[in-house]
Structure 1
């Protein structure tokens, strides 16, 4: 995978080892291997058998490192699935400009759209997670990354539709725009802000066997509205499992419609940006667009 961002920090295994030797020498001689990932925010390196190192790729990424260190221990006992455990946090050094972290290794693999052996089992687990996180009662939650109403995405979304129109991607930009307008027409969330993960992409989920084994990457977590955590209905689950998922999350028609809008906006914004640099994200974005257009007629 090539460089994804113009302002992306360079990382490699040698940098990781130098950072460890300077700040956490007890781990400096462990094997280090970069993990293939669809992630766009951090470079992830496996460290020995039991740890991972997370290096933010862009300026500002250190804020998420600090937030995860503060919030993950508070959220973990309140959620039905394992989430990351922060073992240590590092500081800039060795030419690397950002804070970074060491997490406990969690066994599992990222799921792929269209490749779930037990989709209804996955649907139920993810729905139960969405229900659990939105009912958490913890004070002083930060604003979620997608904590504003869907209309906040409108300018970037319309620019992305036009960028997509100029590519050879096999989508009708006008049909996408119509689906977007339909999502924007859904009534706004009027309830209290609730805890949300805000980025439940397949690359932020782990499966062990046919079951969800963990939810990872909480850099977007915070207070928002429930629709943002329903995006697995479109980015991962087949239509056959979507009914089970919706029944379990138990949301009204407006929230379901907004979830479709959130998933569509993420996919359409991602595809022109990552189509030549991140094949995993690009493939998932195409899948989401196809799924949503198929259900928007």
Structure 2
């Protein structure tokens, strides 16, 4: 069975260089290095100042279009840096899809952090999400942002996929607290909740965060899943990135949420992190795998 992240098109470094120099001759000669790849895009750093993302799947082209319309408006209103799009590549005979270049967000993805370092980012993350979630969703609609067409909080719809990945983790002997994870997954029952419409990042996890030289979160990248939906989709980061006492700091700054929202956020954190474990293992990305497993430990920390 193919994985959700399997690519339909992979843009090599030489092809990326050709495409960028063809569309944007002012950047020639291009120096290029691979930053990484996710479900939807292959990502290159260009001239140490820009980042270019090339869709790996046709589905991602629509997501890129939404980013291009929203992010220039959003960038100045958020308390953290985001990758603002500035170069817009068009399909041609060599590559059939659009692609986008952004200002490079300075910093690094979070690696191994102490609990104290994580707690330092609690208020920063809370202010960022409070600001994002209060952005007028009607204005986001006008800029082409969709509602949650994937029903990301439909627990029962996704339970079988979650069980598959958890089983793979057991077979590969990846997680030291496998029994705790399995007991949680076995206990999942549908949560009936009131719909809420806020602008959400949609895919907020360790690979889409940037930290500064002090290991404090300074930027948020990869807005391909941005949509109008329930805040729990983003609040999952309070479980997967922060220790339990850090969550107290987070929600004091963000604002109190109801018990169902907490439960939904924890479930979303588990689902996203388990998928991230499966993806990083499949791609041989041991660094992300290690950090994702650490995220699971935080989620189940009391």
Coarse TM-score class (shorter-chain normalised): 0.7 to 0.9
Q: How far is the alpha carbon of 1:209 from its aligned partner?
A: 2.6
Partner of 1:285: 292
Separation of aligned partners in 2, 1:7 and 1:38: 10
Question: Quick one: structure 1 residues 6 and 134, their matched pair in 2 at CA, closer, same or farther if it must change by over 3 Å?
Answer: closer
Equivalent residue runs for 1:169-208 within 5 Å: 169-171=174-176, 175-180=180-185, 182=187, 184=189, 187-208=191-212
Partner of 2:10: 10
Q: Which runs of 5+ in 2 are unaligned?
A: none
Q: How far is the alpha carbon of 1:130 from its aligned partner?
A: 1.4
- 1:192-237: per-residue Cα shift (whole Å, max 9, x none)? 3211111111221112233322211110111111111122223322
**TM-score, normalised by the number of residues in structure 1:** 0.86
Aligned Cα root-mean-square deviation (Å): 2.7
Question: Quick one: structure 1 residues 183 and 128, their matched pair in 2 at CA, closer, same or farther if it must change by over 3 Å?
Answer: farther
2:22 paired with 1:22? yes
Partner of 2:270: 264
Q: Which moved more, 1:243-252 or 1:93-102?
A: 93-102
Aligned length: 291
Contact 2:137 2:198 in 1 (8 A): no
Separation of aligned partners in 2, 1:236 and 1:172: 17
Show structure 1 runs of 4+ deviating over 6 A.
none
Higher relative contact order (CA 8 A, sep 6+): 1
Contact 1:18 1:94 in 2 (8 A): no
Separation of aligned partners in 1, 2:210 and 2:59: 26
Equivalent residue runs for 1:1-297 within 5 Å: 5-35=5-35, 37=36, 39-93=38-92, 95-115=94-114, 118-139=117-138, 140=141, 141-144=145-148, 147-151=151-155, 152-171=157-176, 175-180=180-185, 182=187, 184=189, 187-210=191-214, 211-249=216-254, 250-277=256-283, 278-295=285-302
Query: Residue 219 of structure 1 aligns to a residue in which SS?
Result: coil
Contact 2:7 2:39 in 1 (8 A): no
